[in-house]
Amino acid sequence: MISSLKQIAIVACIPLLVTASYPTAVIIELDGTSQLEDPEGLTRAAVVSLSRVGLECTVSRRYIFNHWSFRGASLNIDCNTDIISTGSIVSTMKSIEGVGNIWPVTTEKLPSLRPKRTGISETELHRRRYERNNRPKGLPRNNIINHRSVSDLDTLSTHIDTGVARLRAENITGAGIRVAVLDGGFDLTVPGLSLTNVDYTHDVTDGGDYVQDECWFHGTHVLGIIGAKGDEVEYNVSGVAPDATYELFRIQPCDSSSATQDARLGSLIDAAARGFDIITCSYTSLGAWPEDPWTSVADRIAANGTLVFFPAGNRGPGIFTGSSPADGDYVTAVGSVDNSVTPYYTWEATWSTINNSATGSFRIIPSSPFNFPNNTKLTVWAPDVPASDNCLPMPDRSSLPDDLSNVVVVSKYNQCWLDAWGGAHFLTEAFNISYALYYPGKSNTSTSDGPLFASSDFQNAKGVATVDYDTASMLLAARKEYGSLEISTDAVSNVSYKVNSLSGLLSSKFTGWGPTRRALSMPLFLAPGGNILSTLPQRFGGWGVLSGTSMSTPFGAGVAALVKQKHPEYSADDIRNVIATTARPVKWNDAKGHTLEFLAPTFQQGGGLVDAWSAVHATTLLSTASLNFNDTAYRATNLTFNIKNIGKKSAKYRLSHIGAGSGYVLGESGYNLTKAEAYPVYADIHIHPTSLEIKPGSSATVSVSVIKEPDLSDAATRVSHFSGYVAIEAEGEAEGAADKLTLPYTGLGAPFLVLPAINRDTTILAGYNISNDATISLTEERIFNCTLNTTMNSPVTFQDSFHPGVKVDLVVQSRDFALSIVDTDSGKEMFVMTRGSSEDPFLSGWTWYYDGTDANYFHLPAGRYHWRAKALKMTGDPEKKEDYDTWESGSWILRIVS
């Protein structure tokens, strides 16, 4: 049995999501060799196949996929017994003639993104949009920029910094380009979207055409970044491509907390069938192999000539933190830079002592849920221990009031607290406190460490807001000085701006890095995604600031629309290539507040920060967006690319090499992937020729090879990575002012097969407490006394609910993983508890425990056992034993008592 679910980044806007297996549903792809094209035939065949192994099951259709990119269906499967695993259903149905691939349906759950109506009236909600005159109190006052005039043509910082504003002045606004936006629902009633050209809507989850909702903020924010348009737009927020035509696909229903994989797959297929120029989706999953259905379909559609944009993900910094489907070969993966100007959208709040002897005001950021009581003061409470980056013992709660209904806890965001059994909790949940003010840790990393939008998944949460570190310190100091403190909120909202001098226009700390699992480069380029002001549903006031590659992805898609408007003759590859190679490489920021004088690794930034004006006005096109030298086992002797002069005059080109930061894949322990690490050492590459002249409409070929890898002493064991750029500059008669291009390249200094698959530092023999979801490390020979009752759903029970278990961490995802229990004395493998594949991947970091429900309810006799984990290494051959990494735990003893 597997323990409770692990959080991973799925929707690529902070916060994180949870992925789970949908227990009785599968996605089937047909191979075209049988007569199963009829959906009814497929459901009948599924029933027959399952009945042959003794299962009486009802099979019903969820989605039908009938498109050249994917033919098949997703099915619900309801069997008359609980003694069956999803894996068993999958393996049984693989035998059906005509079934090419089959995967369990997964769901992506966004924690508590169902905001409740705030405690103010609709009249106040309308009024607050016009009460913007007060600068926020409690926010840093240095470098505050004056409120931006709505009458300005385009003064949005993200547009100025990327050339979008210059194109707006040339009336290049995306007109005539059709864009599909796939997300979780859209509030089209907000002022910022009132004039957005929405031509078609489709709810994939129910087959209807109604996508309007205020349940989820994500889709509304995404749509505003690319398509906001309206005379009444405040704060000069407008979309990158405000005149494009948009079609909206909802993939997450309003009355559900999750988006299923087959809904996401169906939205891609539906969008492709309607023939868009551009498809953009800001949902992601953990990095997957190309066989993953979502990744493979996105890649097929992109390879066929549609521009398909996905986020690089928010699991950075560090190698292999990129997400799927962005790691597809033809999908456009977009990473993030921080905004050069941090906007703060805040509401006013006040604090006071019980007798009002001291009062003050401060600013909060409304978050989810936001249902603070109207005209009611909340009593401030905080633990009497300093915040920490680590989990802390549960604090003393004796100072809490008896009545918790009007208590607000002030706590560091994501601070975890451990109970007596080692279980991790938030204080709101542990102490049943319904209101929270969260603040970030004190850091000098960037000005983005100010208050950010937060979300709580605590079922009884009523109100969540955030404040900056200084404001939280002030409130806590006032509480300490006066003994007690109360706060209240009102509807006066405001936006202020602060120059980000530390991380502005540099890679965001969270942005996902490459390489892909096939050692290819990702992301393709960067776009603004850190601290982005855009539209939010009405219940949040219509505006808000979010961060994530969810935000940079629609920005990048908008730039593609601008290029397509100006150059309708460009193919999808042309647009990808010109955006990536006209982007501006950025310097390395170590995520600790330091910017160094060398370029960040290409695995972090791709081509660099997008330059929309240069992409539109370039008169030189390259035949590729990057050069991938792969690992040493698969490295080509040289790679070539073509330079095409699309200008009206001959152009002379000079080519040179610019090195970017190098580093290691593995940390010093040999089992952990590196995080924010880069060194100013570079490879030597040979470029031929280094100068050439190309006539209008003609092309020339350039060859590039690696002469020497960077000088990194542990390259062979820790696997080095290196990167840089081939700089291509037109001179002489070239007419394009934008013809300074940089073509990124990447490489690895050892075979991928060197990488271990299993992390031996963190994979442990464990005990699992089923009552509180706590996992602890165990020493060998631990005795477990159990009771066996085969009539129970969980036939094996243990004293104190404490089960023998194992926590398995993988270094990287494996194409073939198995976990089994072995009789230590005989060496016999008793049964395989779980098996993962590239189609049904095992997700690292889970705890497995024995309770008698696995392997069709096989129960162990008394004896001495240990766990065995076996994982295929990257690029490993499943037919070769030596290509597997095997780990075996210490022994544990099972005793059966009456």
Query: Residues 874, 746, 642, 652: what is their CA dihedral angle, to the nearest 10 degrees?
Result: 180
Running DSSP on this structure, what letter comes out for residue 673?
A: B
Residue 392 lies in a domain: yes
Integer Cα distance of 844 and 169 in angstroms: 49
Residues 713 and 779 occupy one common structural domain? no
Helix (H, G, I), strand (E, B) or coil at 389: coil
What string of DSSP letters covers 208-261? SS--B-SS-SHHHHHHHHHH---TT-STT---SSTTSEEEEEE-S-TT-SEEEH
264 touches 205 (CB < 8 A): no
CA distances from 760 to 5, 669, 763, 822 (A): 22, 10, 5, 19
> Measuring CA to CA, which residue among 863, 870, 884 is closest to residue 833?
870
Q: Are residues 739 and 827 in the same domain?
A: no
What percent of the residues of the chain are helix, what percent strand, and what percent coil, each to the nearest 5?
A: 20, 35, 45
d(CA 602, CA 514): 8
> Do 479 and 515 sit in the same domain of this protein?
no
Residue among 445, 390, 444, 451 at smallest CA distance from 415: 390
Helix and strand totals (H; E) in the chain: 16, 50
DSSP reduced 3-state for 112:
coil
Instruction: Report the alpha-carbon distance of residue 213 to residue 268 in Å, rounded.
Output: 21
| Burial of 856 (C-beta count, 10 Å sphere; 0-12/13-18/19+) | exposed
Say whether 147 is catalytic.
no
Q: If DSSP codes are grouped into helix, strand and coil, which group holds residue 378? A: strand
Coil, strand or helix: which one is 266? Answer: helix
Residue 809 token pair: 């961490």
Residues 733 and 643 in one domain: yes
State how far the Cα of 146 lies from the Cα of 702, in Å rounded to an integer: 49
Find the domain containing 780 and state its range.
Answer: 764-896
Residue 414's contacts (CB-CB under 8 Å, 6 or more residues apart) are: none
CA distance 827 to 887: 14
Prior bond to 515 cis, omega within 30? yes
Taking CA atoms, 247 is separated from 73, 184, 202, in Å, by: 24, 13, 8
Catalytic residue from among 218, 221, 803, 859: 218
**pLDDT number for residue 688:** 98
Q: How far is CA 609 from CA 163, 507, 605, 684, 746, in A?
A: 11, 9, 8, 24, 17
How much of the chain exceeds pLDDT 90, in percent? 59
Number of residues in the chain: 898
Instruction: Report if residue 93 sits inside a domain.
Output: yes
CB distance 582 to 231 below 8 Å: no
Please state whether 541 falls in left (phi above 0), alpha (psi between -120 and 50) or beta. Answer: left
Residues 789 and 735 reside in one and the same domain: no
794 closest CA partner among 858, 852, 856, 847: 852
What CATH code is carried by the domain that includes residue 245? 3.40.50.200
Which helix (H) or strand (E) segment holds residue 776: the answer is strand 774-777
Can you give 523-588 as a three-state secondary structure string? Answer: CCEEEEEECEEEECCHHHCCEEEECCHHHHHHHHHHHHHHHHHHCCCCCHHHHHHHHHHHCECCEE
- Whether 3 is covered by a domain: the verdict is no
Same structural domain for residues 481 and 569?
no
Cβ neighbours, 10 Å, residue 654 = 13
Is the distance from CB of 108 to CB of 10 less than 8 angstroms?
yes
Total domains, the chain:
5
What is d(CA 847, CA 91) in angstroms, rounded to the nearest whole number? 23
Q: Residue 63: which CATH number?
A: 3.30.70.80
Q: Kindly report the number of other CB atoms within 10 A of residue 260's CB atom.
A: 24
Are both 413 and 462 inside the same structural domain?
Answer: yes
* Structure tokens, 834: 């779980």
- Virtual CA dihedral for 37, 38, 42, 47, nearest 10 degrees? -160
In DSSP terms, 106 is beta-bridged to 21
In a domain, 125, yes or no: no
Quote the CA–CA distance of 711 and 707 in Å, as a whole number.
12
Cα distance from N-terminal residue to C-terminal residue, the chain: 23
Angle at alpha carbon of residue 580, lines to 576 and 585, rounded to 5°:
170
CA distance 260 to 824: 41
Q: Which two tokens stand for residue 807?
A: 């926590």
| Whole-angstrom distance, CA of residue 151 vs CA of residue 135 | 20
- Residue 160 forms part of a structural domain: no
Our answer to whether residue 425 is catalytic in this structure is no
Of the candidates 258, 165, 154, the one whose C-alpha atom is nearest the C-alpha of residue 205 is: 258
Residue 10 counted as domain residue: no
Does residue 331 sit in the same domain as residue 349?
A: no
Cα–Cα distance measured from residue 746 to residue 628, given in angstroms and rounded to the nearest whole number: 5
Q: Read off the CATH number of the domain in which 825 is found.
A: 2.60.40
Residues 19/108, Cβ–Cβ less than 8 Å: yes
Of 274, 173, 266, 287, the residue nearest 226 (C-alpha): 173
Q: Are 561 and 438 within one domain?
A: no
pLDDT of residue 123: 27
CA angle 141, 145, 149 (to 5 degrees): 140
Using CB atoms within 10 A of its CB, is residue 394 exposed (0-12), middle (13-18) or buried (19+)?
Answer: middle
Residue 495 backbone dihedrals phi, psi, to 5 degrees: -125, 130
In sequence order, which ranges of 343-468 are alpha helices (DSSP H)? 427-430
The domain boundary residue, chosen from 432, 465, 497: 497
In-domain check, residue 635: yes
User: Considering 564, 586, 617, which residue would you say is the last residue of a domain?
Assistant: 617
Residues near 40 by Cβ (< 8 Å), separated by ≥ 6?
none
User: For the domain that residue 472 is a member of, what is the CATH number?
Assistant: 3.50.30.30
Q: What is the CATH number of the domain that holds 645?
A: 2.60.40.10
Residue 152 pLDDT = 44
pLDDT value for 17: 30
Token pair 């350039």: residue: 702
**For the chain, which ranges sit under pLDDT 70?**
1-23, 34-39, 81-87, 108-153, 256-257, 287, 422, 443-451, 732-738, 835-845, 855-857
Residue 105 sits in the same domain as residue 26: yes
CB neighbour burial string for 621-652, b if at least 16 within 10 angstroms, e if fewer: bbbbbbbbbbbbeebeeebebebbbbbeeebe
Task: Indicate the SS3 state at residue 824.
Answer: coil
Decide if 449 is catalytic: no
Pick the last residue of a domain from 497, 520, 545.
497
- Within this chain, do residues 321 and 185 fall inside the same structural domain, yes or no? yes
Q: Are residues 481 and 518 in the same domain?
A: no
Residue of 267, 367, 550, 723 marked active site: 550
Tell me, what amino acid is at 416?
A: C
Structure-block tokens of residue 383: 């633990």
161, 183, 213, 262: the active-site residue: 183
Q: How many CB atoms are located within 10 Å of the residue 362 CB?
A: 22
Q: What is the largest CA-CA distance in the chain?
A: 92
Cα 365 to Cα 541: distance, rounded to the nearest angstrom = 11
Cα(326)–Cα(316) distance, integer angstroms: 14
Closest CA to 284 of 17, 523, 610: 17
Q: Is 222 a domain residue?
A: yes
Given a contact cutoff of 8 angstroms between Cβ atoms, the answer to whether 367 and 113 are in contact is no
